[in-house]
Amino acid sequence: MKTKDLVYIALFAAITAVLGLVPAIQVGPVPITAQTLGVMLAGAILGARRGFLSQLLFLVLVAIGLPLLASGHGGLAAFTGPSAGYLISWPIAAFVVGLLTERFWGRYNLAWGILANVVGGILVIYAIGVPVLAAIANLSPEAAIVSGALPFLIGDGIKAVLAAAIAVQVRRSYPVIETPQRAVALR
Amino acid sequence: MLALYVPRASPVHRTPAGWKLLALAGLSVLVFAVPTLPVSGGAVAAVLLLGLAVAQLPAGVLLRQARAVLWWLVGLFVLHAVLTDVLTGTLTVLRLLALVLAAAVVTATTRVTEMVAVIERICRPLEWVGVRPARIGLVIAMALRFIPLIAERADRIREAQAARGGLPRGLRGLATTVVPLLVQVLQMAHTTAEALDARGADDEPLPRRRRRDR
C-alpha cells in the first residue's frame, strides 16, 4: 500500500465525518443524515479495498471517543445501541460498492453507478443492520423491517442516485480507480 | 476537536483502557447471556454508580449519550408492551440502557491517545500480513486534520458560488458543492502524499532479522 492510498483512506474517513455536520435533510417524516452518502462515495471513488479501509477508519475514530456521528454522537455507546448493525455494515457496504464500481469501471455511468450504490449502499446495509436490530431490540423480523428499513428507503434511494451522479463527474475530472488493462486494450 | 473525554482524577480514569474495553465486552456478554430483570437492572444501577459516584462524571454527560437512543427505547418499550409483554419490553430496554451507559462511561473516562495505543496493540499481530501498526496512528492523525480542512473548503466553495449569483438549494446544491470539493480534496491528498513520501513515509521497514540486531 502506497502513501497515497493511506492519505485517500484518511480523506474519505474524514469526508464521512464531515457529512455528519450537514444538517439532516427533511424528506417525509424521517430525517436523512448524509453520512451513508460518504459510505457510497468511498466505494464509488476509491474502489473496494481503500473504500473498506476508509470506512473502517471512520468507525475506529468513532470508537475511540470522537463525536463524529450525525448530531454529535459517538464513542463506544454507538456500537451498543440499536443501530450498531448499520454502523458495522458501513465498511462492508463501501467494499461492495467499490467492488461493483471496479467491475463497471470501463463503462461506468449514472445507471451502473446507481446499481452499484443500491446493491452495496442499501441492500448490504439493511442485510446487516436489520437482523442486528432485531437481535438487540428483541424484535420479530417483520417489526424490524418496518422500523429499521422502510422509513429510510426513499432517502437512501436519493443518496444512491446522488452518489452515482457525483462519482460520474469525479471519474471524469479526477479518476482514482485505475482503468483495468483489459478495458484499455478493448477500447 | 472536542472529544467526549471528561478529565477527572478517579480510579476509573486510571484503569488501563484495555481493561475497561474488556469489562465492557464482558458486560455485553453477561446481559445477553442472562436475560433476567435482576441482572439487567443491576447492570444499569452498577454502571450509574460507577459513572456518577466513582468516576465523578457529570450526569449530563451520561444523559446526552442516553438521549441518543431514548426515543428508540421508548418506542421499543411500547412495541413490546403491545406485541409481546411488558416484562420483555422492560428487560430489552434495561439491557440496552446498561450497555449504552457503560460504553459512555468508558468513552468519557479514557483519553483518545490511550484508545489509539490500544488499537495499535490489538493490530500488532497483523504485522505478519503486512500491516504496520505505526501507520494506523498516522492515518488517524491525518483524518483528524482533514475534518476541519474539508469543512473549511466546503464553506469557501459555497461562498464562491454565492458570490457568483445565488446558491442552488436542496439536493442540487449538495451535488454542486460536493463535486468541486471532492476534486479539490483529492488533489490535496495527492500533494499530502508527495510531501509525506519526500519525508520518508514510504520507506519499507528493515527486514525482521536486521531489526532484532538493533
Domain containing A12 — which CATH number? 1.10.1760.20
In the chain, the amino acid numbered A85 is G
Domain ranges of chain B: 11-122, 131-204
pLDDT for A55 beyond 80 = yes
Would you list the DSSP string of B151-187? Answer: HHHHHHHHHHHHHTT-PPPHHHHHHHHHHHHHHHHHH
Q: Within 10 A of A146 (CB to CB), how many other CB atoms are there?
A: 14
pLDDT confidence bin for A51, thresholds 50/70/90? very high
Lookup: cell for B171:
439536493
Q: Measured between alpha carbons, how far is B51 from B44 in angstroms, rounded to an integer?
A: 10
Closest residue of chain B to A166, computed from CA coordinates: B179
Per-residue pLDDT of A123-139, as tens digits, reads 999 999 999 988 888 88
d(CA B125, CA B47): 32
* pLDDT-derived band at A39, boundaries 50, 70, 90: very high
B56-82 pLDDT, tens digit per residue, is 999 888 887 777 677 777 877 888 888
Is the predicted pLDDT of residue A30 greater than 60, yes or no?
no
Q: For residue A167, give the nearest of A87, A96, A112 by alpha carbon.
A: A112
**Residue of chain B minimizing CA distance to A164:** B175
Provide the percentage of residues in chain A whose pLDDT is more than 90: 53
Q: Which residues pair with A32 in a beta bridge?
A: A25
Q: Which residue of B has its CA nearest to A83?
A: B69
pLDDT tens across B74-118, in order?
A: 877 888 888 788 888 888 889 888 888 888 898 889 888 888 888
Question: pLDDT value at position B1?
Answer: 47
Q: How confident is the model at residue A5, as a pLDDT?
A: 92
Confidence of residue A107 (pLDDT cuts 50, 70, 90): very high
Flag if B72 and A82 touch (Cβ within 8 Å).
Answer: yes
pLDDT tens, residue by residue, A75-99 = 787 788 777 888 999 999 999 999 9
**Predicted local distance difference test score (pLDDT) of residue A28:** 38
CA quadruple A176, A96, A114, A86: dihedral sign: negative
Taking CB atoms and an 8 Å limit, are B182 and A45 in contact across chains? Answer: yes
The answer to whether the Cβ–Cβ distance between B142 and A6 falls below 8 Å is yes
Looking at the complex, does the CB of residue B198 fall below 8 Å from at least one CB of chain A?
Answer: no
Q: Give the residue among B49, B81, B48 at the shortest CA–CA distance from B62.
A: B48
pLDDT for residue A165: 94
Whether the per-residue pLDDT at A50 is higher than 80: the answer is: yes
Residues 6+ away with beta carbon under 8 Å from B61 = B4, B6, B104, B108
Predicted pLDDT at B206: 53
Would you give the DSSP letter of residue A77?
Answer: G
ipTM for the complex shown? 0.86
Mean pLDDT of B135-163: 87
Domain residues for the domain of A27 are: 3-186
Is residue A114 within 8 Å of residue A161, measured between CB atoms? yes
Q: What is the pTM of this model?
A: 0.82
What pLDDT sits at residue A122?
95
| Residues of A with Cβ-Cβ distance to B186 under 8 angstroms | 8, 11, 45, 170, 174, 176
Gap between the Cα atoms of A58 and A39, Å rounded: 10
| HSE value, Cβ hemisphere, 13 Å, CA-based, for B101 | 27
* Mean pLDDT, chain A, whole residue set: 86
Ramachandran region, residue A28 (left: φ > 0; alpha: ψ -120 to 50; beta: rest):
left
Judged by a CB distance cut-off of 8 A, whether residue A8 touches chain B is yes
Structure confidence at residue A97 (pLDDT): 97
Report the residue of chain B nearest A74, measured CA to CA.
B4
The Cα–Cα gap between A64 and A58 comes to: 10
Out of A15, A71, A143, closest to residue B79 by CB:
A143
Size of interface A-B (CB pairs under 8 A): 184
Q: Are B51 and B62 in contact (CB under 8 A)?
A: yes
The enclosing H or E element of A26 equals strand A25-27
Say if A166 is an interface residue toward chain B (CB within 8 Å).
yes
Tell me, what DSSP letter sits at residue A108?
-
pLDDT band at B5 (very low <50, low <70, confident <90, very high): confident
Number of domains in chain A: 1
Burial of B208 (0-12, 13-18, 19+ CB in 10 A): exposed
Copy the grid coordinates of residue B173.
Answer: 446544491
Distance from CA of A101 to the nearest CA of B (A): 17
- Residue A170 and residue A155 in contact, taking contact as beta carbons nearer than 8 Å: no
- Run of H or E including B122: helix B112-122
